Amino acid sequence: MKKAAILLVLFALVIIVVPAVVVLPYTHRAAGELQQQNSRTQNAAQKNQISISVYRSAQKQTDQVNLDEYLIGVVGSEMPAKFRIEALKAQAIAARTYIMARIIDDSNVRVTDTVQNQVYHSPEELKKIWGKDYSWKMKKIRQAIRETRNQVVTYNGKLISPVFFSTSNGQTENAGDYWENEVPYLRSVDSPWDKLSPKYKNKKIMARSNVEQSLGVTLSRRSGKLGSKVQRTPTGHIAHIEIGGKLFTGRQVREKLKLSSTDFQLTQKGDLITADSIGSGHDVGMSQYGAQGMAREGKSAEQILTYFYQGTRISKMTVKPQKSNTVAKK
């Protein structure tokens, strides 16, 4: 982030009133002037205070992007604009929470425009992607950002890690069953809406030689189910599976074979192996098609987020002028 951009000096959560308020002081040359402006002007000024350093992988350059414009690019890239507005608002709040947590941890952080962080496209790129639908889609995405301005998701007074994915098998996964550590707010919940997702059932056909190379095993030329000693998590995802005499976690197989999810079944027929998967993504956190299903039922963005991120709350983030140039966190 450029030196002229904000330096986040203090992170404090005020929980006396609801919604909570996350106070993020910043330094800026016009800080003194902001104190003399009315609330409407101040909010407009605050909109432009936070600049995100985004590494554009295709262009191999780093762009400085205003926070709201960054969120528009992320939400427009990560979730279909045709989704209900409350689902889009939930995605906007999750995206804002993610990037603000990164900035609070490191005011000079640089994120990529890929799934490594959050997928981001500029307005010009979205215009090419959306074509004739650009106008109404952009209007809807901007509405989602505007109506959730300054909102973030917190757990016990801290910003969460708001992981999300496309489609579950009907239940989201416990964080500890996919990654190594348990996270209290990333617990399994039912997501029956996902069965209506076009990504609910997936099939991938692979050459036996490619599977052998990816997994580092040798497979005989046979027919039938592939894999033994299968252990599943309480949500039906594969925890462990033995293939070719080698034990793997479900996550390892999914990532090595680039499968849709860890709820899969492998079937071999000679030199071809078919993977039938249920769901799409790592299954931890917010299901996007689950969010869409809840929005269809009239649920709000807050209800969606606090359902998929158990025990959390929606907090209000505000920016306050500060003259100090010392970076510290509280």
Q: For residue range 270-295, list pLDDT tens digits in order.
A: 999 999 999 999 999 999 999 999 99
Residue 238 pLDDT: 96
Does residue 295 belong to any structural domain of this protein?
yes
In this structure, the answer to whether residues 143 and 92 fall within a common structural domain is yes
In this structure, the answer to whether residues 274 and 317 fall within a common structural domain is no
Once rounded to an integer, what is the mean pLDDT over residues 196-218?
96
Which pLDDT band, with edges at 50, 70 and 90, does 50 fall under?
confident
Does residue 102 belong to any structural domain of this protein?
yes
Once rounded to an integer, what is the mean pLDDT over residues 36-43?
39
Does residue 214 belong to any structural domain of this protein?
yes
Q: Does the pLDDT value for residue 163 go beyond 60?
A: yes
Q: List the alpha helices (DSSP H) in the chain.
A: 31-34, 39-47, 67-78, 85-105, 123-130, 134-146, 175-178, 208-215, 250-257, 288-296, 301-308
Contact by Cβ (8 Å): 122, 71: no
In this structure, the answer to whether residues 125 and 209 fall within a common structural domain is no
Does residue 235 belong to any structural domain of this protein?
yes
Contact by Cβ (8 Å): 305, 312: yes
Dihedral (CA of 15, 16, 22, 27) sign: negative
Q: Does the pLDDT value for residue 321 go beyond 90?
A: no
In this structure, the answer to whether residues 158 and 298 fall within a common structural domain is yes
Residues contacting 7, CB < 8 A, separation 6+: 26, 27, 107, 325, 327
Residue 106 pLDDT: 86
In this structure, the answer to whether residues 75 and 115 fall within a common structural domain is yes
pTM of the model: 0.81
The torsion defined by the Cα of 218, 223, 225 and 227, in degrees rounded to 10, comes to: -10
In this structure, the answer to whether residues 269 and 289 fall within a common structural domain is no
Q: Does the pLDDT value for residue 21 go beyond 60?
A: no
In this structure, the answer to whether residues 140 and 58 fall within a common structural domain is yes
Residue 318 pLDDT: 77
Contact by Cβ (8 Å): 109, 1: yes
Which pLDDT band, with edges at 50, 70 and 90, does 320 fall under?
low
Mean pLDDT of all residues in the chain?
85
In this structure, the answer to whether residues 64 and 136 fall within a common structural domain is yes
- Percent of the chain topping pLDDT 90: 76
Does residue 174 belong to any structural domain of this protein?
no
Q: Enumerate the β-bridge partners of residue 52.
A: 65
Residue 317 pLDDT: 85
DSSP tally for the chain: helices H, then strands E = 11, 17
Q: Which domain holds residue 292?
A: 12-162+285-321
Does residue 4 belong to any structural domain of this protein?
no
Hey, what are 178's tokens? 């996919």
In this structure, the answer to whether residues 120 and 226 fall within a common structural domain is no
In this structure, the answer to whether residues 201 and 156 fall within a common structural domain is no
In this structure, the answer to whether residues 157 and 235 fall within a common structural domain is no
Does residue 329 belong to any structural domain of this protein?
no
Residues contacting 322, CB < 8 A, separation 6+: 9, 10, 25, 26, 27, 31
Q: Does the pLDDT value for residue 129 go beyond 90?
A: yes
- Per this entry, what is the length of the chain? 330
Residue 180 pLDDT: 83
Q: State how far the Cα of 121 lies from the Cα of 265, in Å rounded to an integer.
A: 35
Contact by Cβ (8 Å): 113, 55: yes
Q: Enumerate the β-bridge partners of residue 109.
A: none
The number of folded domains in the chain is: 2
Strand runs (DSSP E) across 103-257, as ranges? 110-112, 151-155, 158-159, 164-165, 201-207, 222-226, 228-232, 238-243, 246-249
User: What backbone torsions phi and psi does residue 60 show, to the nearest 5 degrees?
Assistant: 55, 50
Residues contacting 190, CB < 8 A, separation 6+: 170, 171
In this structure, the answer to whether residues 91 and 219 fall within a common structural domain is no
Q: Buried b vs exposed e over 290-307: b needs ≥16 C-beta within 10 Å? A: bbbbbbeeebebbbbbbb
Does residue 73 belong to any structural domain of this protein?
yes
